[in-house]
Structure 1
Amino acid sequence: MLDRRLRVLVIAEAANPEWVSVPLVGWALAHALRTVADVHIVTQVRNREAILRAGLVEGRDFTAIDSEKLAAPMWRLAERLSMGKGVGWTMKTAISTLGYGYFERLVWRAFGDQIRAGKYDLVHRVTPLTPTANSRMAPLCARAGVPFLLGPLNGGVPWPKGFDSERRREKEWLSYIRGAYKALPGRGAMLRHATAIICGSMHTLGEIPARYRDKTVWLPENAIDPSRFSLTAPQPGTLPLRGCFIGRLVPYKGADMAIEAALPLLRAGQMTLDIIGDGPQGDGLREMVAREGLGQAVTFHGWLPHEQVQGVAARTQLLVFPSVREFGGGVVLEAMALGVVPVVADYAGPGELVDDATGFRIPMGSRAELVAGLRERLQAIAAAPEALPAMAAAAQARVMRDFTWPAKAAQVERIWRAVLAGAPPPQDLRLPR
């Protein structure tokens, strides 16, 4: 095994410190990996200015690949076909993915000679996160004798039964046939030649063919920057409870279910609820709260800058977040980092991040079943709020131990070194329940 710092080419087509979602994950992980290895980041040119503002030096620390000739028209097409702002994400991902092969071709043109010459110990593609974006560099690196790693891969969590109306309102028509991506040309070669495959969810891991499971490892893609979480929520262990919901106000995120489930406690003065975020459901939810006479119990904060979100959330004891289609669940980790106990639907990302010591998982079911289960859980918490302080402390400790970007970088480095030693990736990084 190599006992020096590794030299790694990290491909992060989406990596932007000033954006959110996948670009922010791509940037945060790629940047954190620079602390454990000599990393050169390869990204798309749209991220160039933001990365320069973050202090990296072009040419030395990163290279921006200009694939706009194809990427720009593909994005415009995706915007038109998705039929609305903030909806149709499966369509956006599918169309944008069509142009990814061109990006990788330009990456190989720029770095192929260096890879073949052994300048890098391994090549790691961090983004795209979607498993539908096939990589032509996997077989090329294999031919050059350089390990190629994929991931974290995540996305495409199936819509749960009973939520078809929410799916249609999100314009997720393409999600009905999403599984067709497994037949796309290049997928078999990518999986066959990848040295290790990191999956961000158990669902995505389950989509990897069994013959490649020995080189597959579960590692959620989300983490937090501990420097951005300086507050800890008060947990008095008494009533009234104060809960928060953080996210877009759209049907599948479940703010309406959170309010409906909490109604008895809100009416009785045993709980208050802070709603942070906005979206198409916003007006309807405000009308619902006014109609129920809950104006003093529910506060709508609208969209807030990230630093202000922390200030509001850190005044609460519970994150009430019954989202039914959450790939990663970054907001759950952020709440835990503040010592806020998560109450989540036991489905996909959030259900994998929370365990019995750190929060509450509501069994997945129909909308009515989920609301009933959430209501029962909230009432049980209100009956014994003295259990919350210990759970909050456990949640905060777990995030600060396992789910910071430095911790994530150390976990990935373990995978790198195992691969270079000819061993399968370690399976004890942080196992799901």
Structure 2
Amino acid sequence: MTFPSDRKLRVLAIAEAANPEWVSVPLVGWSLASALREHADVHIVTQIRNRDAFLRAGLKEGTDFTAIDSEAFAKPAWKLAEKLRMGEGKGWTMVQAINALSYPWFERLVWRAFGDSIKAGDWDIVHRITPLSPTIASPIAAKVAKTNVPFVIGPLNGGVPWPKGFEAERRGEKEWLSYVRSAYKLLPNRTATLKHASVILAGSRHTASEVPEQFQNKTLFLPENGIDPSRFNLTASPSTDTPLRGVFVGRLVPYKGASMLLNAARDLLISGKMVLDIVGDGPQRAELEALAAPMGDAVTFHGWKAHQEVQDIMAKADCLTFPSIREFGGGVVLEAMALGLPPIVVDYAGPGELVSDAWGYKIPCGSKTEIERDLASLLTDLVADPAPLATKGKAAKARVDSTFTWDQKARQILRAYDWALDPTGPTPSLITG
């Protein structure tokens, strides 16, 4: 398939979750779709709940975006998910299962609104950006494929297995459904979606590994998170002075690893060789405050902070200390790197795929005791010789600037579009290094 070289690609971007005023998946959907608009003629199709935020961001309804009213299914599904998840921010697998039941109605309405224009060849690419979950099929994939318009899906991400030894954390997150999550692979619509997609963007190596062998030849690795340089515009300057300043940013729940961090850094914090800023809140806060009590002023709990305040705190640190044991993407890792802050992470899932020895540190994913032991050893080494932090921090910022800004991610996806339009060419590598 070819198109005139003197015009931009016409892309119908389906992003059911896309909102510049929210976080997590909606912010990813918005950021990626918006970045693509700088390089292609993109029309965004989103859910009606995002309409007002799109208008406040300056987009014109009907010209730049279309808001689909699927509330007849979406609203009851949301209420059911909130009831079944048994706690704010918990039961993520259950939420996705409910979304998988309600989402097809949204795409049915998308096809009703845009099916004729897709058949007429008004679009060069149809790209479903969100949902990110690989468990949620796309009912219109086969319909788009019949029109000979390439259908791109992703980046898909999620479902990273819980590591061994963390069953208490799994139960604490109300992840009962995660024990049978793999059953989604048997759903017929899942296979049809992958079959009819021209390109499958996988947001993690794990998600890529779950794609059946017959579709691996059209699966490309592309982490879903990115950085807006205008939002992360400070630069950290890791110091060689004592004390070492670490920062943790995230929800205060067991799997994020704040308790492991406090245990690992205990002696350094009590002796005054290290200080720690903990940014975030959650059900584990009281427990963490009790754990940190013997450490006195060495540990500061900041609670939730506005974006700019978080950036200010992070930029004063020497390293991000983030031993989470289950992250799909690890956006906070990229945020730290964007500030020139070398991250310390557990080598598992998203963070392990974003960090290399050139710009950070990876702790092997073992038991709690092993993670705390290895983290304590690393922090002790950094207190004794913090000089590598500045070098790694500069490399971290350079890595984000070259690969993980939203503009760079849009350019990477354009290469995927080119390949979808001409699959006879070599398979592109969207992320290198």
Query: What range describes the TM-score normalised by the shorter chain of this pair?
Result: over 0.9
Contact (CA 8 Å) 2:415, 2:428: kept in 1 or not?
no
- Write the distance in 1 (CA, Å) between the matches of 2:423 and 2:265: 53
| 2:132 is aligned with 1:96 | no
SS of the aligned residue for 2:90 comes to: coil
- The correspondence for 2:219, drawn from 216, 219, 224, is 216
Q: Which residue of 2 aligns with 1:335?
A: 336
Contact (CA 8 Å) 1:218, 1:431: kept in 2 or not?
no
Q: Which residue of 2 aligns with 1:367?
A: 368
After superposition, residues 93-172 of structure 1 pair within 5 angstroms as 93-172=96-175
- The correspondence for 1:281, drawn from 272, 281, 284, is 284
CA shift, 1:422, in A, is 2.5
Q: Which residue of 1 aligns with 2:57?
A: 54
Aligned residues with identical type, % of pairs: 60
CA shift, 1:187, in A, is 1.1
Greater Cα offset, 237-246 or 349-358:
237-246
Greater Cα offset, 379-388 or 115-124:
379-388
- Write the distance in 1 (CA, Å) between the matches of 2:112 and 2:171: 42
- The correspondence for 1:19, drawn from 22, 27, 35, is 22
SS of the aligned residue for 1:63 comes to: strand
Paired residues in the alignment total: 430
| 2:264 is aligned with 1:235 | no
Q: Which amino acid aligns with 2:339?
A: L
Q: Which amino acid aligns with 2:216?
A: R
SS of the aligned residue for 1:296 comes to: helix
SS of the aligned residue for 1:369 comes to: helix
Q: Which residue of 1 aligns with 2:324?
A: 323
- The correspondence for 1:67, drawn from 54, 67, 70, is 70
SS of the aligned residue for 1:275 comes to: strand
Q: TM-score, normalization: structure 2?
A: 0.98
Q: Which residue of 1 aligns with 2:38?
A: 35
- Write the distance in 2 (CA, Å) between the matches of 1:186 and 1:234: 50
- After superposition, the C-alpha distances for 1:208-243 in whole angstroms (9 at most, x for unaligned) are 011111100000000010011121112223322100
Q: Which residue of 2 aligns with 1:314?
A: 315
- Write the distance in 2 (CA, Å) between the matches of 1:401 and 1:18: 26
Q: Which amino acid aligns with 2:25?
A: V
Q: TM-score, normalization: structure 1?
A: 0.98
- Write the distance in 2 (CA, Å) between the matches of 1:42 and 1:77: 25
SS of the aligned residue for 1:171 comes to: coil
- Residue segments in structure 2 that go unaligned for 5+ positions in a row: none
Q: Which amino acid aligns with 1:10?
A: A
Q: Which amino acid aligns with 1:39?
A: V
Contact (CA 8 Å) 1:225, 1:404: kept in 2 or not?
yes
- Write the distance in 1 (CA, Å) between the matches of 2:31 and 2:100: 21
CA shift, 1:289, in A, is 1.2
Q: Which residue of 2 aligns with 1:394?
A: 395
- Write the distance in 1 (CA, Å) between the matches of 2:153 and 2:124: 15
- Write the distance in 2 (CA, Å) between the matches of 1:51 and 1:44: 11
- Write the distance in 2 (CA, Å) between the matches of 1:101 and 1:382: 53
- Write the distance in 1 (CA, Å) between the matches of 2:346 and 2:422: 40
- Residue segments in structure 1 that go unaligned for 5+ positions in a row: none
Runs (4 or more) in structure 1 with deviation over 6 Å come to: none
After superposition, residues 349-388 of structure 1 pair within 5 angstroms as 349-388=350-389
- Write the distance in 1 (CA, Å) between the matches of 2:134 and 2:347: 23
- After superposition, the C-alpha distances for 1:23-55 in whole angstroms (9 at most, x for unaligned) are 000000011100010000000001000011000
Q: Which residue of 2 aligns with 1:346?
A: 347
| 2:221 is aligned with 1:183 | no
